[in-house]
Structure 1
């Protein structure tokens, strides 16, 4: 039997590449596995040989020690792979298929799944609706920053690429379908972006860049990206975005006014989440900053897409409220302006097929937008370290050296 190496969280600031067991079609006990999920049979699942798996900002929250993730948790929820084994109950997915795996784990049978809300599946996480691979408090499904991984509910979840050779030619784009591209797109759709919209994107990390590219695909007239990191803002400008540097100029409305002639936008997207910083040269962490600032600059009646991650447990929170996800949000401002808020995980399956077609047709250039950079499995710790420093790259791990 083949071995299996994977990237694991070992404590704040530390990840290691380690040997783990080769997967089978049962969810075994291990770090972070919910006791009620131990021994769960997955004859409806498949084993994948991982072709690409990406480092995500959500992983980085765990690696920084900002969640309750246990040491030894295998990371990785952005997975693309080749099917090498199918369970006895799998009917339509075949060995040899090249597939994208939605980061949401969804059964296809519960009320939420039947209503296309696969991000809040009711049957995969005993603690609460919603689950993901390799993530804290999400049921304990083993992550995919590895050589091989088990994926349950294969017939329902997996997106098969129609032509393997064509897919491998565009694999750096297609690997973004498991999370980052649908997440950015969902943020833009949730914000109501349409032809002619003016849009503010908070955060120029990979999800923010994906949201900005998505806003362009949806026909936005002007996309403004804000961040404190000059290198990431330069990446946003590389594909046609306007930018505001909130470290150099703390007044967001004033900077938007200089671009648009008015200090407000039609809609906004929060791609930062709970580790937000206040604005200015010497600003400290202030987790409600982005939520409050996007309410300030979005016009009355506008919509706010909030794919940025907010958690219920943050050991590194700045105060006791922040440690349980209670933030000083100016809800009265949002109420007064009749804003619509859309939060939560992204229901990847609502978007990934259409976005796949946009990539294969050449309409979407997501790898270029996020500066996709391929590394080996052994280079993953370096990737985490560089990503934590704010490098303007989206790291794509290639465990088997299959990417040209």
Structure 2
């Protein structure tokens, strides 16, 4: 039996790389595993030797203690790997295939999957529609910040790269297909971004930068990224975005200095529930601030894409309402402007093949846009600390030395 190592949540502010179980074609009991999933057979699954796996802002919410994630949870939902074993029901995926894993786990059989709503699959999580690897309340599927990982419904879920050598040349870009590139793209598509659009992206973390790059790929005329972190704003400017530091005033006023008007055609919330205020309230946590600002700066009849994470349980929220996901949103403002809002996880499979082709054919350099930095798996705790301190980087873990970081 081959050994395995993984990144394990140890309580607020702490992760460790530990020995963990090698994957089997059966879901075992453990931290975060729904009792109804214990013993679930996975003959349709594949075991991957992980080539690259990424630290995500969603992981960071858990590590900060801002969710109800249990200690001992193996983290990681952004997985790219090499197939080393397949279950008896797998027909098309083969050992040796190099593949991208959508962070959404889906069965391909339920009504939602058949409608391309793979983010709310009905069959993989007894708690609620939708599932993900290594994430709180998502059914208990083991995370992929590890040397080896199990992927269920492999024929359905896995995106095979057509040429291994070509893929490895662009693996730092292709690793973004598991989550943040489709997520940022989805935020823009759901907001209606197209040729000639003016776009405001709230948040210059990796998802925000991916959204900004996606807006440019979709033909936006002007992409404005707002954040409090100057290093991250500088990263957005490197690939052609305008930026506003929202600590310096109201986002609408700052946008007007660029466009001559305080409104944009489309807005994307890439921040989520750990939002902070702008202007005089900069630095103060205000969970609804980004949504309210987005409504203020989006034109009447416009749309707001919301790929930023919002949760139903935040034990460290600033008030009792926010602890259960209730926010003081100016819904009347959005209603009066006839805004459309699009929320929820990105259905990765809706976009990942097209985005793979854009990467392989040099239409986009997403790793450069998000400043991807490769580190060994054993340095994951340092990566989490640096990311939490606001580093303008997307940390890519190299569990098996494919990138030569060890």
TM score, norm. by length of structure 2 = 0.99
Structure 2 match to 1:146? 146
Structure 2 match to 1:278? 277
Q: Aligned runs of 1:222-301 on 2, under 5 Å?
A: 222-247=222-247, 249-280=248-279, 283-301=283-301
- Write the distance in 1 (CA, Å) between the matches of 2:4 and 2:400: 11
Q: 1:99: how far off?
A: 0.2
> Does residue 199 of the first structure (1) align with residue 188 of the second (2)?
no
What SS does structure 1 have at the residue aligned with 2:384?
helix
What SS does structure 2 have at the residue aligned with 1:80?
strand
Structure 2 match to 1:90? 90
Structure 2 match to 1:72? 72
Q: Aligned runs of 1:267-346 on 2, under 5 Å?
A: 267-280=266-279, 283-346=283-346
Q: 1:154: how far off?
A: 0.3
- Write the distance in 2 (CA, Å) between the matches of 1:7 and 1:250: 39
Q: Aligned runs of 1:373-384 on 2, under 5 Å?
A: 373-384=373-384
Does the aligned pair in 2 maintain the 1:79–1:100 contact within 8 Å?
Answer: yes
- Write the distance in 2 (CA, Å) between the matches of 1:60 and 1:250: 27
- Write the distance in 2 (CA, Å) between the matches of 1:52 and 1:324: 34
Q: 1:364: how far off?
A: 1.1
Q: 1:283: how far off?
A: 3.2
- Write the distance in 2 (CA, Å) between the matches of 1:250 and 1:19: 48
Does the aligned pair in 2 maintain the 1:168–1:403 contact within 8 Å?
Answer: no
- Write the distance in 2 (CA, Å) between the matches of 1:283 and 1:59: 22
- Write the distance in 2 (CA, Å) between the matches of 1:250 and 1:16: 40
| Structure 2, unpaired ranges of 5+ | none
Structure 1 match to 2:371? 371
What SS does structure 2 have at the residue aligned with 1:48?
strand
- Write the distance in 2 (CA, Å) between the matches of 1:2 and 1:372: 29
Q: 1:280: how far off?
A: 3.1
What SS does structure 2 have at the residue aligned with 1:128?
coil
TM score, norm. by length of structure 1 = 0.99
What SS does structure 2 have at the residue aligned with 1:73?
coil
Q: 1:251: how far off?
A: 1.0
- Write the distance in 2 (CA, Å) between the matches of 1:284 and 1:3: 45
- Write the distance in 2 (CA, Å) between the matches of 1:250 and 1:65: 30
Does the aligned pair in 2 maintain the 1:121–1:130 contact within 8 Å?
Answer: yes
What SS does structure 1 have at the residue aligned with 2:279?
coil
Q: 1:271: how far off?
A: 0.1
Aligned positions, number: 403
Q: 1:250: how far off?
A: 2.1
* CA-atom RMSD in angstroms: 0.6
Does the aligned pair in 2 maintain the 1:302–1:340 contact within 8 Å?
Answer: yes
1:174-217 deviation per Cα after TM superposition (whole angstroms, max 9, x unaligned): 00000000000000101100000000000000000000000000
Q: 1:136: how far off?
A: 0.1
Does the aligned pair in 2 maintain the 1:184–1:212 contact within 8 Å?
Answer: yes
- Write the distance in 1 (CA, Å) between the matches of 2:35 and 2:154: 23
Q: 1:307: how far off?
A: 0.2
What SS does structure 2 have at the residue aligned with 1:41?
coil
- Write the distance in 2 (CA, Å) between the matches of 1:127 and 1:360: 38
